[in-house]
Structure 1
Amino acid sequence: MKKLLTRIDRYIIKKFLGTYIFAITLVISIAVVFDFTERMDRFMNNNAPWDAIIFDYYFNFVPYFANLFSALFVFIAVIFFTSKLAENSEIIAMLSTGMSFSRLMKPYMISAAIIALFTFVLGGYVIPKGSVARVEFEDQYYKKRKKSSARNIQLQVEEGLIAYIDRYSDYNKTGYRVILDKFEGKKLSSHLTARSITYDSTAVNMWTLKDYTVRDFDGLHEYISKGDSKDTVLAMDPSDFLEFQNQEQMMTNPELRAHIDKQKSRGFGNTKVFEIEYHKRIAMSFAAFILTIIGASLSSRKAKRGMGLHLGVGLALSFSYILFQTISGTFAVSGVVSPMVSMWIPNILYAFIAYYLYRKAPR
């Protein structure tokens, strides 16, 4: 019975993953130095403690940044070590033994699968937890991102119950000029207006209405009741309408999916930023396979000018992929295409490029 992995397979996987980790370590080290140099003045001016800078910010910044540019690191790793193999005539030696190029790609695909799984789990489940501490640190010591107020809030609290709040201030957890409309089918059964509504953070979904008036409708009859204060349970909380910049980065994949479904059911149509983030995480994981094929196909041929040409072409393609993915995200924001399609457009396009280069690779 043949071994699943030959010595050559293990050799290529070791080279691939080793170069990938080395590239990440090198680039991230440089990125941390530049990032700290840029932010140091504001950190010092806001009296950020060193333990918070190191553990809350940079311990969470490093995996976030590494995962964000994982596609670039995959490309660099494949181009670099495959060009070295080609320069040393190792690939020629492998192919001369009768090994096909498709068989040679097996350890590349195994390595790409390991990286794809790693980046998917890291980006979808691990990094969002760390991003909570990182974003909160930035909000306190660098630049405030969280919204403290919202206007013209309209949402479906539950089936048949629509809430409207003219203005909400988070500092006192109070909304002003409140309307609660209850429907039975298509008929309005109750109309409540209140001067203000205050969220009780000590209880779940507990709100207090001030200066309220309730109009209940029963056929042609109308019953009016008023009061100074009234406690009521409403299936909503301030986080439903106080979205802030990069909030999607702080949610795991299940949390993103639940948030999107919840906001859509409540009448919030603008969930594209969250949908883009959700589909981007999946698409970026599959990109490891596509970029590995492109990189291996480009650099497996021995070049007269050395690996410089391969590395230059590879970097150009990888940066163009990242740029194209950023641009395609704007298509979804503007409503031209759906978020899922916009995030998969770069993968589809570069899959054709990968297929073409694979067909042109040495046999």
Structure 2
Amino acid sequence: MAIHILKNMEYKKFSPFRFIKKIDRYIIRKFIGTYIFSIVLIISISIVFDVNDNLAKFSTYHAPLRAIVFDYYANFIPYFANLFSPLFVFIAVIFFTSKLAGDSEIIAMLSTGMSFKRLLRPYMISAAMISILNFYLGAYIIPKGTVIKQNFESLYKNKQKNSSASNVQMQVGKGIIAYIAQYDDVRKTGYGFSLDKFENKKLVSHMSANTIQYDTISDSRYHWKARNYKIRELKGMREHITSGHEIDTVIMMEPMDLVFSKGQQETFTSPELKRYIGKQKDRGSTNVVQYEVEYHKRIASCFASFILTIIGASLSARKRKGGMGLYLGIGLALSFAYILLQTVCATFAINANTPPMLAAWIPNILYVFIAYYCYRHAPN
């Protein structure tokens, strides 16, 4: 019995949960409960409007009910819930904190000697839980669902994805330049293909082919079939020519490298985004800004939960006449301004050469000052 008590005391001594008191659990339940409630309420309204807007298209293109529910709305809900998570966090904090203040619960907490800094502890724990969940969903789960959602939209909402490219030229290896006059992503086939290899800035090999097709059933990546090909190998003043009907070859490029469609960056998980950005930069491509913005935005958005939580708690912790209406309005305005600022900064990165990482973090940097000001003026 004594050993059991000692073990229990040791567990409590080193357990991180020893810092979470009864009041913390109470606030965390309020925070998470209100956050989930706001998501369910607002997303439900969004679904009603979306169904009303797209019902005619679903009927016109004979979309099956199973596909509408599981392919479209099952991915629509997490996508928009994660996208507007800062808004839901702000609404949740303003709503339940104003209610606590209106019921004089916060006054009771502070009158016991609890500082506002200590009061923020359960808020920060809740924000951390939401941030971790948002990052995991945005970095690994939602991109896969977005692929399914986009495929549904191309079939049943007539949103045609870009499936062709022309005059594509890229570096596929050190000193190796590939060129495709026309590429069809539906058939995974390129027309008017050439591949030049340089050593010490001198051309040593030139390959041309009428068509080149990606091998989609190969066990490994980068396998292509070149048809009606000719290979010229240059060795000093000598030239060796090889030609044939078909040849299997390995070229360090994939169909996804050739065709760029709107929103394509949202279909990559974060590790895939990082690899893709690195690969495109190695090839000398400059068309990766939107991918870099998306990569950094996923990280920056998670920290927004902490910033907006501090602002919301600071604004609504004081008991005032008139209830929560004013602060809920301020919270909504600040939340929408944050989301708008994210969009504007992303546009600056793409069109005005703003560094992608800076563009993704500008909203957080600006709102940190707002959070500090609100925190300094919070009740104590």
TM-score range, shorter chain: over 0.9
TM-aligned CA deviation for residue 194 of structure 1: 2.6
Query: 5 Å matches for 1:88-167?
Result: 88-167=103-182
In structure 2, the residue matched to 1:328 is 345
In the alignment, is residue 317 of structure 1 matched against residue 326 of structure 2? no
In structure 2, the residue matched to 1:356 is 373
Query: 5 Å matches for 1:198-277?
Result: 198-203=213-218, 204=220, 205-277=222-294
In the alignment, is residue 11 of structure 1 matched against residue 26 of structure 2? yes
1:129-160 deviation per Cα after TM superposition (whole angstroms, max 9, x unaligned): 22221111111111334222101111122222
* Partner Cα distance (1:306, 1:42) in 2: 44
Listed as ranges, the gaps of 5+ residues in structure 2 are 1-11
User: Which stretch of the first structure deviates more once superposed, 213-222 or 256-265?
Assistant: 213-222
Listed as ranges, the gaps of 5+ residues in structure 1 are none
* Partner Cα distance (2:186, 2:270) in 1: 30
| 3-state secondary structure, aligned to 1:214 | strand
Matched letter for residue 96 of structure 2 = F
1:241-293 deviation per Cα after TM superposition (whole angstroms, max 9, x unaligned): 12222222222111111111122222322111111111111011000000000
* Partner Cα distance (2:267, 2:185) in 1: 20
1:91-126 deviation per Cα after TM superposition (whole angstroms, max 9, x unaligned): 111111111111111111111111111111111111
TM-aligned CA deviation for residue 206 of structure 1: 3.1
User: Which stretch of the first structure deviates more once superposed, 115-124 or 283-292?
Assistant: 115-124
| 3-state secondary structure, aligned to 1:155 | strand
In structure 2, the residue matched to 1:69 is 84
* Partner Cα distance (1:336, 1:209) in 2: 38
TM-aligned CA deviation for residue 228 of structure 1: 4.0
How many residues matched? 363
What's the Cα RMSD here? 1.6
* Partner Cα distance (1:324, 1:169) in 2: 37
* Partner Cα distance (1:144, 1:189) in 2: 45
* Partner Cα distance (1:318, 1:155) in 2: 41
1:215-257 deviation per Cα after TM superposition (whole angstroms, max 9, x unaligned): 3222233334444443322222222212222222222111111
Matched letter for residue 134 of structure 1 = K
In structure 1, the residue matched to 2:70 is 55
In the alignment, is residue 193 of structure 1 matched against residue 208 of structure 2? yes
* Partner Cα distance (2:265, 2:215) in 1: 25
Share of identical aligned residues, percent? Answer: 58
Matched letter for residue 95 of structure 1 = L
Report the TM-score when normalising by structure 1.
Answer: 0.95
User: Which stretch of the first structure deviates more once superposed, 352-361 or 168-177?
Assistant: 168-177
TM-aligned CA deviation for residue 335 of structure 1: 4.1
User: Which stretch of the first structure deviates more once superposed, 277-286 or 138-147?
Assistant: 138-147
Matched letter for residue 56 of structure 2 = D
1:162-183 deviation per Cα after TM superposition (whole angstroms, max 9, x unaligned): 1011111233332122221011
TM-aligned CA deviation for residue 315 of structure 1: 0.8
* Partner Cα distance (2:237, 2:375) in 1: 75
* Partner Cα distance (1:338, 1:272) in 2: 9
